[in-house]
Amino acid sequence: MTSTLSFEVFPPNTQIGTSKLFKTLKELQQLKPDFISVTCSNNRQTIEETTLKVADYIHNQLQVPTIAHLPAAYLQKEQVAALLQQLDQSGIHQILALRGDILPEQTPKEDFVYASDLIAYIKNIAPQFHVSGACYPEIHPESANRVTDIKHLQQKVTVGCEQLITQLFFDNDLFYQFQESCYLADIKVPILAGIMPVVNRKQALRLVKTTNTKLPRKFLAILEKYEHDPVALKEAGLAYAIDQIIDLATQDVAGIHLYTMNNAEVAKHIWHHTKNVLNGQVKVG
Ligand code: FAD
């Protein structure tokens, strides 16, 4: 069985950052990924100028399939309908439907309380869209326990979610346990494993703060031992991600979704060391 390989990028805040991203995307295109997904900030008013612009470039200029992220907690139905129309006109028919984080200083709108509300809405008014959803091997931080979290995930799939992409994780065993729970709950859609290669200490510490992710002993040892040696830390961080991917591919994971942090060099390194293991889907040359 082959596993897909896809990348995530984020639209930068500046014009210079955007032209740099377009250069990065050209390099990612060479790796022939199954798709590239584009994140979308929850508090940005101008999705058209950020996510949609980058997704349009990937789909129409680079001819690479793309998934546009769409967090909807602060959107109303008419706004989502207009965005869907724009995506449709650009030929983009893949969406990662999200609720998005609730910002402490901003009350969310009431149209899309949960991602499942958005998924149901999209499938109702624009069934031509292929809809993915987010999932959390270590449980979404707001969930009381695994059982309710899986129940809500099941609801996403029931209303039309066709693929799941996980939050990043560093312990594959937690992913396998999560996969099993999904299977037992009759969630049979492909689950792509989100892998983030950690290449510096600051990045790793930020991740621990902002996500619910546990750092296994082996990973913590890397951070500690190479604390003052950024080159060695990067080498070890990349090797760790490669090791995770090889294990996942060996266990027939549906796909690897690489959080690239807009770093083509890192993506190329990972691709180079896993392309034969992932096999088939990643076409060389
Ligand atoms: P939901 O699926 O709605 O879940 C949110 C919480 O509500 C969970 O605890 C869930 O268990 C609970 N819940 C769900 N349904 C119900 C119900 N019926 N009753 C009671 N409780 C319920 N954020 C961005 O802003 N932009 C991005 O581009 C982005 N990309 C992401 C990509 C991936 C792969 C992942 C994993 C996350 C991404 N996020 C992004 C973060 C995401 O928006 C946050 O994690 C957010 O807090 C939850 O979004 P969700 O779609 O998972 O929400």
Contact 275, 246 (CB under 8 A): no
**Among candidates 74, 40, 44, 43, which has minimal Cα distance to 54?**
40
Which atom belonging to ligand 1 lies closest to the Cα atom of 135?
Answer: 36
pLDDT, position 44: 60
The helices-and-strands tally (H runs, E runs) of the chain is 10, 8
Q: What is the mean pLDDT of residues 258-277?
A: 97
Question: Does residue 160's CB lie within 6 angstroms of at least one atom of ligand 1?
Answer: no
Lowest mean pLDDT across 71-80, 106-115, 186-195, 208-217: 208-217
Element (H, E) at 35: strand 35-38
Closest residue by Cα to atom 32, ligand 1, is 134
Q: What is the mean pLDDT of residues 209-235?
A: 91
pLDDT digits (tens, 9 = 90+) for 62-90: 999 999 999 999 999 999 999 999 999 99
pTM, whole model, 2 decimals? 0.96
Confidence check: pLDDT of 96 > 90: yes
CB neighbours (10 Å) of residue 279?
13
What amino acid positions are annotated as catalytic residues? 8
How far is the C-alpha of 116 from the C-alpha of 155, rounded, in Å?
Answer: 7
Mutate to test the pocket of ligand 1, among 69, 94, 95, 114 (most ligand atoms within 8 A of CB): 114
Question: Does residue 149's CB lie within 6 angstroms of at least one atom of ligand 1?
Answer: yes
- Half-sphere exposure at residue 118, Cβ-oriented, CA atoms within 13 angstroms: 30
- Half-sphere exposure at residue 254, Cβ-oriented, CA atoms within 13 angstroms: 14
Average pLDDT, the chain: 94
pLDDT, position 45: 64
Question: Does residue 109's CB lie within 6 angstroms of at least one atom of ligand 1?
Answer: no
